[in-house]
Amino acid sequence: MEKENLTSRRDFLKLSLAATGLTIIGGGILSSLGCSKTQNEISQEKTLQENQTQGREGIKNKRFAMVIDLSRCRNARKCVAACQSAHHLRPEQFHINTYRMQDAEFTQPYFLPKPCFHCENPPCTKVCPVGATFKRSDGLVLIDNERCIGCRFCIAACPYSARSFNWFEPKDSEKDKDKIYDVELNVPQKKGTITKCLFSADRLRQNELPYCVSACPNGVFYFGDLYEDAVTNGTTKETVSFSELIRQNGGYTLMEDLGTKPSVYYLPPKNRIFPFIYEGKTSLEKQNEEED
């Protein structure tokens, strides 16, 4: 019996050593084929997952809104440049842009900055088949380019034309290729996916004002929290009551009849601080010239 037991133990040890050797060899083969993950890759995947989870949760007990004072805009386009730089956009791509507007024949033209409106009832999120665009608890509507399949249903659904498609390789694709994707910054940008204004979610995470708001030299933008009824001007840093600002200045949202309930409000272009410049002349000079 003792001899049989000794033989059995020897056989067991031989089989164990053989199995260990096969595991090591097999692991080496898989590693050489690129089937195993390095510690760095595992760490990057963990960071990506954390970014995705945090990005979808939003910032607790906040409800963000923007107010744009049209009487202050002179088309400096500093907001556009700051946004394009932060999100690594090509020159023809815009998360925010400014447009020349004129409401009627005899009214004065003015400039209108237009970001995404981060609607309370966004039609874009309802049509995405993979949940790549979503609304957070703090009111922000974001895009997850790790999920986006480029179907462009959200572009068709948005009544404000606030989204665009990455038809080409992003501006900094080579520089950004090793960066971990940040859903709150939407960098690195990816060809074949959607891009849009994010209300600078990454800055809000740090309790800072959005890029466009901080960059404007003329105090066009106010930004803040509706729960606190407070918005801060990006230029003067003055904090005022949101409800009073809207009420006393005739604030409004675009296309209110659609029921989308935008989080971007406009103050009408009354008592203009800067005259509208038309081919080197103010709008009043241009009007007088045409009358003569």
Q: Using CA atoms, how far apart are residues 51 and 64, in angstroms rounded to an integer? A: 20
CATH code: domain 45-278 is 3.30.70.20
Output the pLDDT for position 9.
52
Cβ atoms < 10 Å from Cβ of 33? 8
Give the tens place of pLDDT for each residue, 147-163: 999 999 999 999 999 99
pTM over 0.85: no
Domain ranges (residues) in the chain: 2-36, 45-278
Residue 189 and residue 175 in contact, taking contact as beta carbons nearer than 8 Å: no
Question: For the purposes of burial, counting CB atoms within 10 Å of the CB of 145, is it exposed (0-12), middle (13-18) or buried (19 or more)?
Answer: buried
Task: Give the pLDDT confidence of 156-201 residue by residue, as tens digits.
Answer: 999 999 999 999 999 999 999 999 999 999 999 999 999 999 999 9
